[in-house]
Amino acid sequence: MIAYPTCFRKMRSRAFPPFAYSPASSLDLPCVEWMNQTDDQVLELLDESDLILLPAVVVMNLDYTRNWGSRRMSKLNDAGVIEEVERGYYRISSKGRAYLTGEIDAVELENSE
């Protein structure tokens, strides 16, 4: 059996921006080893906005570099939690939404990488 690290993922709220962190709203949940805080922010932004976006637009809204955002979004696409709709345009997938709502656990995402 694989031991997964524990990380703090924030509870989802309907307040925008969806990635605003508050220690009072965190849950102690297992996380996927290859994921980082940026990945949750990207998924939450795509989910809350329900838009198809370029990585450049996503990172501009999250205050990350274009290079960093492109690499993270490529990893998320490979894992199937976001999907490329057209060359360079991404949206959250049903698997990504399931991850955010807790329907998919860390084991399932770890195996998809």
Full DSSP string of 69-80:
HHHHHHHHHHHT
pLDDT of residue 59: 93
pLDDT of residue 107: 75
Q: What is the mean pLDDT of each run of 10 residues along the chain (113 residues)?
A: 44 42 44 83 96 95 92 94 96 95 81 62
- Domain extents for the chain? 30-112
Task: Report the CATH fold assignment for 30-112.
Answer: Arc Repressor Mutant, subunit A (1.10.10)
Six-digit token string for 51: 């838009």
Residues of the chain by 3-state class (helix, strand, coil), percent to 5: 45, 20, 35
pLDDT of residue 109: 76
Paired with 27 in beta bridges are 9
pLDDT of residue 108: 78
Global pTM value: 0.72
